[in-house]
Amino acid sequence: MLFHVEMVVNLPHDMPANVADEIKARERQYAQDLQAQGKWRHLWRIAGSYANVSIFDVENNSELHELISRLPLFPYMDIMVRPLCRHPSSIRDDDR
């Protein structure tokens, strides 16, 4: 199943820089691992914001929830999830 996921990060202003840097480093590694596995299919930054738009390709809602919940930045995120389905006018075969 494909999901459109918007994530907005809201780190506390008083979070020490070294703590924020460590969380961001773990986040980067986790996100890149999921991309390499094909589960995090696309990742785009929203210009001018500490936010992204992503496409996840997972088995079901539960797997998506599990993956997102493990994000190191999860406690600091506002997340919106939209399930996607193939459009009948699409010319692509791999956009299930």
Environment class of 45 (CB within 10 Å of its CB; exposed 0-12, middle 13-18, buried 19+):
exposed
The predicted model gives 3-11 an average pLDDT of: 98
pLDDT for res 96: 58
Alpha-carbon distances, residue 96 vs 42, 55, 56, 80, 88 (angstroms): 14, 12, 12, 20, 10
pLDDT at residue 67 greater than cutoff 90:
yes
Q: State the pTM of this model.
A: 0.91
pLDDT at residue 94 greater than cutoff 80:
no
Domains of the chain with CATH codes:
2-84 (3.30.70.1060)
pLDDT at residue 64 greater than cutoff 80:
yes
Tokens read off for 68: 């997102």
